Chain A
Amino acid sequence: MIPVALQQAAGGNSQIEVEGTTAGEVLERLIERHEDLRGQLYNDRNRLRNFVNVYLNDEDIRYANGVETPVKDGDRMMIVPAMAGGRSCRELQSASSS
């Protein structure tokens, strides 16, 4: 399943069927098919960006075997980000002195 924000990079698809034996293999094949996804998901060192979470059947693969987590026919994968925000310490100091 492709999040709405990434569907354009995935050829307009909301779901894509990809074969693979591990979560990492599925991701790599997805990227091979839709190269525009690479910059969104991977950093310059070709590693998954820190905020990218991959869910396999609603379970975060980080709590299984990461990209080595085995997948089987019919499994559903979803790319989900963590998002955090707020002011930095410098900005807090600036706000309190203004």
Chain B
Amino acid sequence: MLVISESQLELLKRHGEQRYPNECCGLLIGRIDAGGQTREVVEVLPVLNAWEDDREHYHRMLIRPQDYLQAEVQFSSKGMGVVGNYHSHPDYVAIPSDFDLEFLAPWTTMSYIVISVWNGKATDVRSWQLTPDRSQFNEEQIIRGNQACQ
């Protein structure tokens, strides 16, 4: 499951709306519990959509490895790092696509949030986890916590 505050969820929605009709993307920074079942988001880190052809940003996003690396290094002293990513689907449902299944999810231990933005308004936020055999995403529960402590 994913623990994230209301204000962080709002930030994700606003990012999706700001980037509409293009896709937004970013990293979820936080901790993973010892059992690996719960990811707690402490900070949301919007990043630039680095997909090379910006004419395709309406249906494609790319998070640069350098952004991931920088986040891991920046937060490692606090025992935190990248526990997931997020991106928006302009005028489409918040369900991972076939393309997402192939390229979105490197690790089965992270959370993958998809934000649905219809006509410029964020309407749905859902979180997904990749199955161990990497064949599909399963939706995971979002626990709306208070503002997570730093």
Contact = CB atoms under 8 A, between A and B. Distances in A.
Contact of B107 (A1, A81, A82, A92): A81
B12 interface: no
B68 A14 contact: no
A94 to B, nearest CB: 8
Interface string B80-103: 111101010101100011111001
Contacts, number: 119
Contact of A5 (B69, B76, B107): B107
Dominant SS among interface residues on chain A: mixed
B62 A84 contact: yes
Interface stretch (A16-24, A25-33, A49-57, A67-75): A49-57
B65 A60 contact: yes
A1 B75 CA distance: 13
Interface residues of B, number: 45
B2 interface: no
B108 to A, nearest CB: 7
A6 B92 contact: no
A85 B103 contact: yes
Most buried by A among B65, B79, B98: B65
16 contacts: A3-B81, A3-B107, A4-B80, A5-B107, A5-B109, A5-B110, A39-B108, A78-B69, A80-B66, A82-B63, A82-B106, A83-B62, A85-B85, A86-B97, A87-B92, A90-B98
